Structure 1
Amino acid sequence: MPIDDLPCYEVFAVRYAWVDKQRGTNFVTCDHYDRSMPMDYFVWLIRNGEKLILVDTGFNEAAAHQRKRNFLRSPIDGLALLGVRPEQVTEVILTHLHYDHAGNIDLLPNARLHVQEKEMQYATGKYMKYHALCHAYTVEDVIDVLKGVYDDRVAFHDGDDTLYPGVELLLIGGHTMGLQAVRVHTRRGWVVLASDASHYYENMDQQSPFPIVFNVGDMLAGYEKLRRAAESTAHIVPGHDPEVMKRYPAWGAQDQGIVALHENPLPASPEKTHTP
């Protein structure tokens, strides 16, 4: 389809939790400036007048307590601020099946789940005997997706795919075997939701992946793929960076924790510039 004929979508980041971390825990290579570097948790909503697609489903309050995360609200409740009821969500892209991306499936009874075949293979396969790889999964969440397979609610994708005109899935791998990013056509051009292909802007900028990683080489190559897919680096949205909330205009009240990614980024200010 010619790009002029592609539909445009609104894209929102909905913040639902956060945790304080140290810089040294966020990079696979040594970081000598070990100070506070918090992590935010998001789900994303893609919509226009015809389509409504949720990207990832987050975790619940019990998981937040278990993993010592600061829980702001249910991510599903956060959608209500955008006028979206759970039963209206009929399409969900799961970028991967880690606990912070694939919980709350039970709250979305009408949703069809879009997952990479490699991710399901990974989350239910031989590598899950290793704590270093399985600790970011919650067995119950994986089982919920598996139940969805038996109920014919899961659509498997084998590599890059077009979900709808203007919404594309990009197999990245790296962080997990089947991690996928999402490319969305907006009025400001192609925006790429990187999810955990790059947790922070700095992971990609410094070519230093987040330490939870299945294949470092694939993750590094994934940074290149993200850049090729996006209109510019300013169109790439990392999966956990608090900077996202600062760089984009708020949707509704500032304290609602929702920003509009289809809008142009706010003008840069000195306090947003990273200095080690």
Structure 2
Amino acid sequence: MTGIDLLITGYPGVSPSNGGMGWSSVGLVRSGERIVLIDTGPFGARDLLRRRLAERGVAPDEVTDIVLTHCHHDHSVNWTMFSRARVHVSRREMEWALQVPHGVGPVPELYVRELASSPATVLLDDESEVLPGIRTEIVPGHTPGSLIVTVDHDGTRTIFLGDAAKNRAELVCHRVDATLDAPLSKDSIARIWTRWEEVPGTTVVPGHDLPMVLRDGGCSYLDTRQTSVQARLSADFDDVTTFDLAEE
């Protein structure tokens, strides 16, 4: 193992007037000669994702593996950016996503159909080893085949949670918003806590929040939020208003 990085940090917000933001976390793991992405972000993250990869000396066609925590568009749709990558996804998730009626919910129907027929797709069972040191486990609720991805590296452990627990609030209160099965989600969060506590110092990366560790029995952020929106609200093209969304 040669490193774990967070390319994009998710944001725990929605817009009541304009719908879900879909700002999700994207992880990068280097495992020997393999370059692995944990989720791929939404359409709006494409340019940012290319820039963040370039800053780390990685071209899209050098990514060898993608692990999708689930099939919602904000986590999966950019798999098409990586032409040489194997795409790992839960078998249970794929079977479910293919049956979702078109136009219902956040599953990108046509992308899922293409993924299902792609020779690059690797279907994972309930617990799977993607590569040495990278393991997945199904944690249903948000979707039937949602995965957590555990990465062991150089004596440390990082767990990417996808949307099994989207943010700190869900981890703390064991209640989940936007889930297909609330009781299953509650059970999955209990399992996440068990995994979190197994190895001292384990970092968890929610699908829509900052990375965290356990300190004094509580969830402590490892980073500071840097999130903003720029808007042209006047007739002057050069007049740009910036809204800082970094406050907790």
TM-score, reference length from structure 1: 0.68
Q: Secondary structure at the match of 1:104?
A: helix
RMSD: 3.3
Matched, 1:228 2:188: no
Q: Contact 2:160/2:205 (CA < 8 Å) preserved in 1?
A: yes
Deviation at 1:20, TM superposition (A): 4.6
1:141: which partner in 2? Answer: 111
Residue of 195, 201, 222 corresponding to 2:168 = 201
Structure with the largest fraction of strand: 2
Task: Write the distance in 2 (CA, Å) between the matches of 1:232 and 1:219.
Answer: 24
Match of 1:58 in 2: 41
Is the 1:57–1:76 contact (alpha carbons within 8 Å) kept by the matching residues of 2? Answer: no
Q: 2:182 is matched with which residue?
A: 216
> What amino acid maps onto 1:185 in structure 2?
D
Moved over 6 A (4+): none
The residue type equivalent to 2:28 in the other structure is L
Aligned to 1:129: 101
CA–CA separation in structure 2 for the residues paired with 1:101 and 1:119 = 13
> Aligned residue for 1:34?
none
Which has more helix, going by share of residues?
Answer: 1
Unaligned runs of 5+ in 2: 213-219, 228-245
User: Do the aligned partners of 2:12 and 2:208 also contact (CA within 8 Å) in 1?
Assistant: no
Structure 1 residue 90, shift from structure 2 partner: 1.3
Q: Compare 52-61 and 109-118 and name the one that shifted more.
A: 52-61
1:73-222 → structure 2 map (5 Å cutoff): 73-125=47-99, 128-129=100-101, 134-148=104-118, 152-187=119-154, 189-210=156-177, 212-222=178-188
Match of 1:13 in 2: 6
What percentage of residue pairs aligned between the two structures are identical?
Answer: 22
Closer/same/farther in 2, CA of residues 255 and 22 from structure 1, 3 Å limit: closer
Q: 1:32-54, CA deviations, whole angstroms, 9 ceiling, x for partnerless residues?
A: xxxxxx87422111114433211
TM-aligned CA deviation for residue 100 of structure 1: 0.4
Count of matched residue pairs: 218
Aligned-residue offset at 1:227: 2.1
- Secondary structure, aligned partner of 2:73: coil
Q: Tell me if the contact between 2:102 and 2:109 (Cα under 8 Å) persists in the aligned partners.
A: no
Specify whether residues 124 and 48 from structure 1 end up closer, same or farther in structure 2 by C-alpha distance, changes over 3 A only: closer
| Structure 1: distance between partners of 2:195 and 2:14 | 30
Instruction: Specify whether residues 193 and 17 from structure 1 end up closer, same or farther in structure 2 by C-alpha distance, changes over 3 A only.
Output: closer
Judge conservation of contact 1:9–1:185 (CA < 8 Å) in 2. Answer: no
The answer for the alignment partner of 1:30 in structure 2 is: none
C-alpha distance after superposition, 1:231-259 (max 9, x if no partner): 25852221101576x93369xxx979xxx
Residue 112 of structure 2 aligns to a residue whose secondary structure is helix
Is the 2:9–2:209 contact (alpha carbons within 8 Å) kept by the matching residues of 1? no
Distance 1:16 1:236, change over 3 A: closer
Cα distance in 2, alignment partners of residues 233 and 118 from structure 1: 31
